[in-house]
Amino acid sequence: ELLEAAFLVSSMLVEIPLLASIDSEEQKRKVISKPFRRLLDFADRQVFTGPPESTRDHIMQASRALQDGEWEKCRDLIQNIKIWSLMPESAS
């Protein structure tokens, strides 16, 4: 789960700026991380999103916040993931 969290966060930091810079439909098809883009598309289709429960939920809501330009909310959601306590020398 820790590895998945690190992968999804790094994918978010690469994919969201790429999505923001898209001008044409051809550029929209360019995908760096297919698993992340699939999760993001699924999360965007959700009508109602409750409070985040899992690591994926935190990262998908953080991605949505980053897309909206709310980087502070994105940072807070990422920092609130409980899995980070498994990292050595984490600030618990």
Is 14 among the domain residues?
A: yes
The gap from C-alpha 30 to its chain's centroid, in whole angstroms, comes to 18
pLDDT at 13: 93
Domain that holds residue 58: 2-23+31-86
Q: Check pLDDT > 90 for residue 77.
A: yes
Q: What is the count of structural domains for the chain?
A: 1
Mean pLDDT across 45-59: 88
pLDDT at 25: 66
For 88: left if phi > 0, alpha if psi spans -120 to 50, otherwise beta; the answer is beta
Q: pTM here?
A: 0.81
Confidence of residue 91 (pLDDT cuts 50, 70, 90): low
pLDDT at 30: 72
Is 69 among the domain residues?
A: yes
Is 91 among the domain residues?
A: no
Length of the chain, in residues = 92
**Which of 3-17, 39-53, 68-82 has the lowest average pLDDT?**
39-53
Is 92 among the domain residues?
A: no
